[in-house]
Amino acid sequence: MNKLRSLIWIFVITLTLTTCSATIGSNATSQFSTPTLYLPVVTNNYPDRSIIGVDGNSYLQQIANTGVRFLRLNTQLWWSDIESTKGRYDWDKAARVEELIMEASANRLDVILLMQTAPVWAREYPGSLCGPIKDEELDAFAAFVGEAVRRYSVPPFNVKYYQIWNEPDQFVKETDSGNNNGCWAESTNDYSGNRYGEMLTKVYPILKNINPNAQLLIGSLMMTCDPRDPNPQDYCAETNWRSSANFFEGILQEAKESFDIVMFNSGPSFVAGQNPVWTEMNNWRWKVERGGLVNGKINYLRDLMLKYGVNKPIIHSEAYLLDRPEAPDDYESFEDYKADYLVWVYANGWSQDLKAVTWYSIEGWKGSELIRRDGSETKALQALKTMTGFLHQAQFLSRDDNIGYTRFIFRKGNELTWLLIPTGQQYGMEYSIPIPSKFKKAIDLFGNEQAVTDTIRFSRPTYVFLNQ
């Protein structure tokens, strides 16, 4: 039956590709004169609910082979390039973006396409590449997004997820033309997200009219400070930072029904001797009592959406461990810490029922890379391959937060998998648990079987397999 179903889908998809191939290219927009059927992409490799993603633009086949589902493409589609002259689209400027989208699609990666940067004629602040759009030009941006969705929702691109700006809750940089990250938080607007929300209300109906299956993603929020903190410290106590912390609420006030998914960025920095999981939870800006640097943001987003009567999926984008030191000994230690934290951040996101977690990035920033410049794999990538191999098509059941470690429980067929991850402050601290009934084996984060006698001892992420 499965083989028959696969053959049927192959036939349907082949027929669709054949029909569309004549119209894809420089005249791609003309094919939408009649309604278009958007067929689901069916694969046998990973279930639709896999949350594992990465950010990047290289080594895409190698990354796809690890079992990753989502690719947030960090080669962005710049409106300022495509429509530098109002009303004239130059899609040749998107040639590199399109090459990467096609490569990702061919490798069955679900692309998150990031669109941002206003052309000079549409900017509220002429020198600000990253800043807000003039009110009178919001319709022009909505039209551009519509043309992009028209172009990229079909083979050979097959894009479903469209992110609008990145980190829009940063302060406006009125004269910084070199910064392409979002900066919509204006002092004249109390640093709120209302203006960004108004833009979404223009874009969303056009996107959905062109492709009802397309998903509009709020540009990854920095969420630098916690607006719930009654006693903020350092710069988070300043009025402008306190105001910008409410950016998402401004979006909800204007556009709670005009987006599909909200994204946020977050991750800790390396501290020698300190477990990065503990560092994440005990951040001075997002304190442990409200969930820490990652779960605190998830809780805040969900609570605020509940207040406004909506429930949207969340993506933890730009998950990372940063600030690798230069000293050789610390350099190698950092790579171990990074591998451990990667396993944690995906397992935690899975347990929090996130839509996706995307590691930042394939190429890296401040030491976070998965693949080195010479093409060699980091320990973090090896840990990712182990994780996707063991948990491929697994079902998450529950988590237990214990003193010093967390146990995540998965089921796959007739087998249970416990993923044990240390969470205590000291990195390398050893913990132990009794051998459970129906125990099969214990495997480290790199796939090596561990010797087990009277107890299971672990100081790093460890998989424990049991017969059910």
Percent of the chain surpassing pLDDT 90 = 81
Please say if the pLDDT value at position 274 is more than 80.
yes
Which CATH number applies to 41-393?
3.20.20.80
For residue 32, give the amino acid letter: F
Instruction: Give me 10's structure tokens.
Output: 């192959």
- For residue 40, give both structure tokens: 């689901």
Give the mean pLDDT of 189-211.
96
Q: Let me know: does 241 contact 224? Beta carbons within 8 Å.
A: yes
Q: How confident is the model at residue 178 (pLDDT cuts 50, 70, 90)?
A: low
Query: Is the pLDDT assigned to residue 61 strictly greater than 80?
Result: yes
- What's the pLDDT at 180? 66
Amino acid found at 175: T
Residue 312 CB coordination number (10 Å)? 17
Where residue 376 falls among pLDDT bands split at 50, 70, 90? very high
**Is the dihedral angle over the CA atoms 422, 424, 429, 431 positive or is it negative?**
negative
Residues of the chain with CATH 3.20.20.80: 41-393
H/E element, 410: strand 405-412
pLDDT tens, position by position, 230-247? 999 999 999 889 889 999
Q: What is the DSSP letter of 310?
A: -
Query: Which pLDDT score is estimated for 190?
Result: 87
Categorize the per-residue pLDDT at 189 as very low, low, confident or very high, splitting at 50, 70 and 90.
confident
Nearest alpha-carbon partner for 199 in 151, 143, 161, 120: 143
For residue 179, what pLDDT is reported? 60
Helix or strand or coil: residue 192? coil
Q: How confident is the model at residue 14, as a pLDDT?
A: 41
Q: Which pLDDT tens digit goes with each residue over 91-139?
A: 999 999 999 999 999 999 999 999 999 999 999 999 999 999 999 999 9
329: confidence class by pLDDT, cuts 50, 70, 90: confident
Q: Residue 39's pLDDT is what?
A: 32
Position 341 scores a pLDDT of 98
CATH 2.60.40 residue ranges for the chain: 402-467
Mean pLDDT across 142-150: 98
pLDDT at 92: 98
% pLDDT > 70, the chain: 88
pLDDT in tens, 10-53: 433 443 433 333 333 333 333 333 333 333 333 333 344 589 99
> Hey, is 97 helix, strand or coil?
helix
Mean pLDDT in the chain? 89
In this prediction, residue 22 carries a pLDDT of 37
For residues 311-316, give the mean pLDDT.
Answer: 98
Range 301-326 average pLDDT:
97
d(CA 73, CA 80): 18
Looking at the domain 402-467, which fold is it?
Immunoglobulin-like (2.60.40)
Give the 3-state secondary structure of residue 107: coil
> Which pLDDT score, from 0 to 100, does residue 390 have?
96
Position with higher pLDDT, 395 vs 12: 395
Summarize pLDDT for 410-460 with one digit per residue, the tens.
999 999 999 999 999 999 999 999 999 999 999 999 999 999 999 999 999
